[in-house]
A and B are shown apart, each in its own frame.
Chain A
Amino acid sequence: MSEAEAKKPAARGGRNLELPEHLKAYKGVWVFIEHDRGVVHPVSWELLGEGRKLADTLGVSLAGVVMGGADEALDAIAKEAYTFGAESCYIVRDPVLKGYRNEPFTKGMTDLVNKYQPEIVLLGATTMGRDLAGSVATTLSTGLTADCTELRIDPATRALAATRPTFGGSLLCTIMTLAYRPQMATVRPRVMQMPDADPSRSGVIVEDRLAMIETDIVTKLLDFIADENNNKVNLAYADIIVSGGKGMKSPDNFKLVWELARVLGAEVGATRPVVQSGWVDAERQVGQTGKTVRPKLYIAAGISGAIQHRVGMEGADVIVAINTDANAPIFDFAHHGIVGNAMQVLPVLTETFREHIAMRSRKAA
C-alpha cells in the first residue's frame, strides 16, 4: 500500500467538508461485537485490535458494543472484549434482542450513538454487520465505508481514512467522512490481524435499555437453521490452504490438491472458474466474491493470480505458486514460485512433504 498521505480533498460542488461545531463533541472509537447463539464472530476481536490502534493514535478510548437477549452471557463477552483492548463495553440487554433482527438492533445502535456520541464506529462486513451498518448510517445520515482493508487516521484532519478495494479489486480508494459523525466502516473477516488476548486487562460496563417491546417489532424470527457442515469448511480461518485453479484441467487432477491438503492437514480452496465448473463447493472459493483468507501457508496450483483471486489471499504469510507459465501474474505476489506442470509437481511436493513430516515427527518422538 502506498505510503503517501491522503491529501485533504477539495470541496467540490458547494459541499461542506468542515466538521460542524456540534459534531466536534463526538469522541472515541466503537466496535460492534457480533455474536450469535453464544459465539462471538472473530472479526469483532480483529476489529478491536484495529480499533485499539486508531484510539491510541487519536488519544481516545475504545469501547465495544454488545447487544443481546436477557438470558445471554453478555457480560462474559464484554470481559473477553477487554482482553482484546476495549476499555469499556456498552451493553444493551433486552428480550427483543435475542437473535439478530434489523429493527431492534438498528434502534439500539442509533440510540447508543446519539447518546454517547462516538466519532468512529466499526462493524464486521458480515451479513449481520452490513445489514446493521447500512441501516444505522442511513438513520443517522452519516457516511459509511464498506469492506475496508485498511484503516488509518489522517493526520491533517484527524478523520478516519478508510481504504477499500473498488472496481473488482483493480483499484483501491481511500474514503473519508469529513463533515459528519460518526464515521462508520465495515471490515471483512480476516483482513485485520487477530490481536493477542491479554487476560490481565479489564474495563467498565455501561448498561443501557432499549425502549421497545416485542409487539412494536414487525419482523419475527421464526427459526434458525444451522448449516449442517458448519464446522467442516472453515476456509477463512484455516492456517494452511492448498488451492487449485483451472490449470488443474479436470476434476480428476484436482484430487492431487486434496491429497496434498490431506498430508498437510490443510483446507482446500479454489478459484471461481473451478467452483463454476462444479469441481468443488462454492464455499471453497477464495477471492473477491468468495472468502478472504489469511493462512500461514497458501499453496496455489494452476492458478493464474487474477486480481479478483489475489484480493482474497494475498494476506497469507507464505504463498507458494505452481504454474506452467513463468509470466503468470501469481508470481508477482507469491513468495516461492515453481514453474512447472502441477500434475507433475504436486505429487512430488506431496511426497516430499510427507517424507519431511515423517522424518521430523520421528525425530520428535
Chain B
Amino acid sequence: MHIVVCIKQVPDSAQIRVHPVTNTIMRQGVPAIVNPYDLFALEEALRLKDQFGGKVTMLCMGPPQAEDALKKCISFGADDAVLVTDRAFAGADTLATSYALAAAVRQISREQKVDIVFTGKQTIDGDTAQVGPGIAKRLGLQLLTYVSRIAEVDIENDRITVERRAEGGVQVLRTAMPCLITMLEGTNEMRFAPLENMIHAARYPVRKWSKEAAGIEDITKIGLKGSPTVVSKVFGPTPRAEKALMQSVEDASPRDVTLNVIQKIFTQHPTLERDILAKATV
C-alpha cells in the first residue's frame, strides 16, 4: 500500500505575537512546527503501513525550511519525503495550494501508484479545512473528511470502510481506493521515535521539487495568480470599550460582592432572570 500524507509547516500559534502597533504577525523567533492536526493523519498512515506493509511518502508545499518538518515525519517512520518549493507558489490560497499539491501527488503516483492520500483536518494557521477536499476534487479521488476511525481495509478489492464524524453522530462510509482522507484530531497518538530513526531522519535527503519537477503545467493556477481570494485587511481584535466592572473580595465581603454582581446583572438583563427562574433547580 502506498500512502501519501500531506503536511504543512506552521508557526506555533501558541507562541505567536502580534505587533501591537502595526498589527502584523511577528514571525521572528516563532518556532515552526508540523501542523499538529497533520500528525493524526501521519500516525494513522503509519498504522496502516504497520498492518499492511507498503510505503508512506510525505508531501509538503512550503519554503525550504519546511524540510525540518518533513525530517521530523521521517523520524516518526515515514519512508520518503518530497518538498514542493518554488518562489512561484508564494501567496497561494487554498485553491492554488490544492492545485500544486494535486500535481505533486500525481507526480508521486507516477513513481508508484498511490492508494490513499491523507491530510489533516485543518491547519492551525489557515484553519480552512479546504485543502484536503480541494486535492480530492482535482484528482477525482473519493473524499472522506473528518474520519474518526478506519474500520476496515480490503486490499484485494481496493475498498475501505471508515467512520466519519458528522453533526450528532458518526457516518459509516465505504468507498473505493484511491481515496483522500482528512483525519480527525484526537483519534490516535503519535508514536515516540526511537533514537535510530532520529539519526536516520537527521541524515535523510528530502527531495525538493520545483514547480516543473512537480509537474505543474498551468502557472496561472498557482501562487498569488491562482488564488481567487484576496486578503484586503488584517487587524487586531478591538478591545471592549469599557473595562469590566471590577470588585475585589479584599474590599468587600464575598457575599456583598456576589450580591452586587447578581443585582447588576438582573437589573441590566431582566429576561435573563426570567430564564433562570424558569430553569433553575433550587
Contact = CB atoms under 8 A, between A and B. Distances in A.
Do A and B touch, yes or no (CB under 8 Å, in the complex)? yes
A180 interface: yes
Interface stretch (B48-56, B70-78, B109-117, B241-249): B241-249
A296 B228 contact: no
Contacts of A222: 161, 172-174
B215 interface: no
B128 to A, nearest CB: 4
Interface stretch (B57-65, B137-145, B197-205, B206-214): B137-145
Interface in B75-133: 91, 93-95, 98, 124-133
A56 interface: no
Give the interface residue-count category, chain B: 35 or more
B249 A168 contact: no
Give the interface residue-count category, chain A: 35 or more
Contact of A336 (B138, B172, B264, B281): B264
Contacts, number: 319
B227 to A, nearest CB: 8
Contacts of A147: 127-128
A227 B23 CA distance: 42
Q: Interface residues of B: mostly helix, strand, loop or mixed?
A: mixed
Given A127-B166, A134-B134, 13 more contacts: A130-B130, A134-B131, A134-B137, A138-B137, A146-B128, A168-B125, A240-B276, A240-B279, A331-B243, A337-B247, A339-B246, A340-B248, A352-B258
Interface of A: 1-2, 4, 6-9, 12-15, 17, 34, 36, 39, 41, 99-103, 106, 126-128, 130-131, 133-135, 137-139, 141-147, 154, 161, 164-180, 218-227, 230, 239-240, 262-265, 282, 289, 296-297, 307, 310, 317-321, 326, 331-341, 344-345, 348-349, 352-354, 356-358, 360-361, 364
18 contacts: A1-B237, A2-B235, A4-B233, A36-B168, A130-B133, A133-B130, A144-B128, A170-B25, A172-B235, A173-B231, A222-B174, A227-B169, A240-B275, A318-B269, A332-B244, A336-B244, A340-B249, A344-B249
Interface of B: 11, 13-14, 16-18, 23, 25, 91, 93-95, 98, 124-134, 136-138, 142-146, 161, 163-176, 185-186, 223-225, 227-240, 243-250, 254-255, 257-259, 261-262, 264-266, 268-269, 271-273, 275-282
